[in-house]
Amino acid sequence: MLYIRAIDNSRLVATQYEGAPDKATTKGVWYDLIDPTPEEQAFVENATGVSVPTREEIEEIEVSSRLYNEDGVEYMTVTAAARLDTDEPTKSPVMFIHNGGALVTVRYVELRPFTNVIERCARPGGCASADPENLMLTLIEAMVDRLADALERVGANIDQISRGVFRARARSENVGARDHDLQATIERVGQAGDVLGIIRESLVGFNRLISYHHGMGHIAKGAVETDGRIRTIQRDVSALSDHASYLGSKIAFLLDATLGLINLEQNQIIKIFSIAAVCLMPPTLVASVYGMNFKHLPELDFEYGYPMALALMLITAILPVWYFKRKGWL
């Protein structure tokens, strides 16, 4: 899918390319390719004079394949986080191609930041400064803001998990319920870690992209305002990266703590079985002695032999329990 977006009275208007011959003369400031077909890629290449890489080339992870300049055209790829507010967050590469006269974006999923920018710029006066570079920076700012919102949700979720692990557990008397809660906690921690991993990868990509783009020398061109926006984005990305690192360490601590609590619960169960085995050992020994099939047993003809054996087994079972309680092991 290809949308050709142009500026009309400080508004961003779009035309969807449908392969019609009359669309070949359409000029735009932003060519938005969404999972493009070869025909759409060829049209953009003819309209802008840039070479649009294939999906395989865009998905390369080498820095040299993600950030490079070819014949004065900047090619910049970042891993974008998508569906962060759903149960199945994902990531997908997004390429920005900037040749000074037009902006080309190549993406393979719908991204909420793009939709928000398009809706805002479609309003009257929404794109007062809508040259290709400022459009790109606006998109990047929206994507970074989206990551910041996602980090806030992850942080709130981690705080909630922490309270559930270290406070609510003390109020639960049911061991089975505690075990189930701890297992559910591990799943929630894992989900939070998955989302955080996607966000951190995206932030690393934005940090590299902005640093690379800033190194192209906008101050020398007199673009002081643009340089200020770039520096602001750099500070935001750096601060978000630090916060993501903090949340990552907190997730690691919660995971270790939860696993430790599960081990404690398991040890408690093993301790109960061990104490039960020790308590039943003396009665079992008494029953084994008097259950031997020898002809001559001293207590065999004793009138109170049976009650005596039962009493002895009961006493030998109670004594270990009393001892363990006295030691504080029960």
pLDDT at 25: 43
DSSP codes, 198-222: HHHHHHHHHHHHHHHHHTTTTTTTT
Phi-psi label, residue 82: left if phi above 0, alpha if psi -120 to 50, beta otherwise: beta
For residue 119 the two structure tokens come to 């809706």
Rg (CA), the chain: 34
| Tens digits of residue pLDDT in 230-246 | 899 999 999 999 999 99
Whole-model pTM: value is 0.78
> 3-state class of 129 per DSSP?
coil
Q: What pLDDT does residue 109 have?
A: 92
pLDDT of residue 17: 65
What would the pLDDT profile of 111-153 be if each residue is shown by its tens digit? 999 999 888 888 877 675 668 888 899 999 999 999 999 999 9
Tell me if 109 sits within 8 A of 82, measured CB to CB.
Answer: yes
CA end-to-end distance (rounded Å), the chain: 69
Instruction: Give 107's contacts (C-beta < 8 A, 6+ positions apart).
Output: 32, 33, 34, 35, 80, 92, 93, 94, 95, 114
| Domains of the chain, earliest start first | 2-266 (3.30.460.20), 267-327 (1.20.58)
**How far apart (Å, rounded) are the C-alpha atoms in residues 16 and 18?**
6
Residue ranges in the chain whose pLDDT is less than 50: 20-26, 219-220, 222
Query: Which pLDDT does position 20 carry in this prediction?
Result: 45
Rounded Cα–Cα distance for residues 137 and 209 (Å): 11
Return the residue matching tokens 């910041």: 148
Q: Residues 213, 230: contact at Cβ < 8 Å?
A: yes
Let me know the angle formed at the C-alpha of 208 by 224 and 2, rounded to the nearest 5 degrees: 85
CA distances to 90, 183, 256 from 250, rounded to whole Å, are 22, 18, 10
Tell me the longest C-alpha to C-alpha distance in the chain. Answer: 117
